[in-house]
Amino acid sequence: MKIKVHYISLVKGFTKTSQEEFELKKDTSLADLLDKIAAKYGKPLILEVYDPTKKEMKPNFVAMVNGILMDQLKGVNTQLKESDSVILMSLMTGG
């Protein structure tokens, strides 16, 4: 199945691209996709955005699946399906 991933704000700086498509097997979770992204982009992304050993996003970053925050779904255990759109981005801060 094909999943489109959009990289926004600081995440785009780690990937050097704004979007890409991944071909994944059926019954793939968000954690599986994030593991694949971490393996592709390596240490800078792992240190700042997603820790594949703990299966968790770093505090200042979030993932959305089809416009819904992962925490409103099943977190990294959210099952992905054909044509899903995943966004990785930093949280907005400031005042």
Q: Going by C-beta distance under 8 Å and a sequence separation of 6 or more, which residues neighbour residue 42?
A: none
Query: Within a domain: residue 95?
Result: no
Compute CA distances 7 → 26, 27, 73, 89, whole Å. Answer: 23, 23, 20, 6
pLDDT digits (tens, 9 = 90+) for 12-71: 999 999 999 999 999 999 999 999 999 999 999 999 999 999 999 999 999 999 999 999
Asked if 42 contacts 75 with a C-beta cutoff of 8 angstroms, the reply is no
- Asked if 70 and 77 touch (Cβ cutoff 8 Å), the reply is no
In-domain check, residue 55: yes
| CATH for 39 | 3.10.20.30
Name residue, tokens 């592709």: 40
Q: Whole domain around residue 78: which residue ranges?
A: 2-90
What is the predicted pLDDT for the residue at 93?
56
The verdict on residue 79 lying in a domain is yes
Total-model pTM: 0.93
Instruction: Assess if residue 72 is contained within a domain.
Output: yes
Residue 62 in domain: yes
Backbone φ/ψ region at 92: left (φ over 0), alpha (ψ -120 to 50), beta: beta
Instruction: Please check whether residue 49 lies inside any domain of the structure.
Output: yes
Domain total of the chain: 1
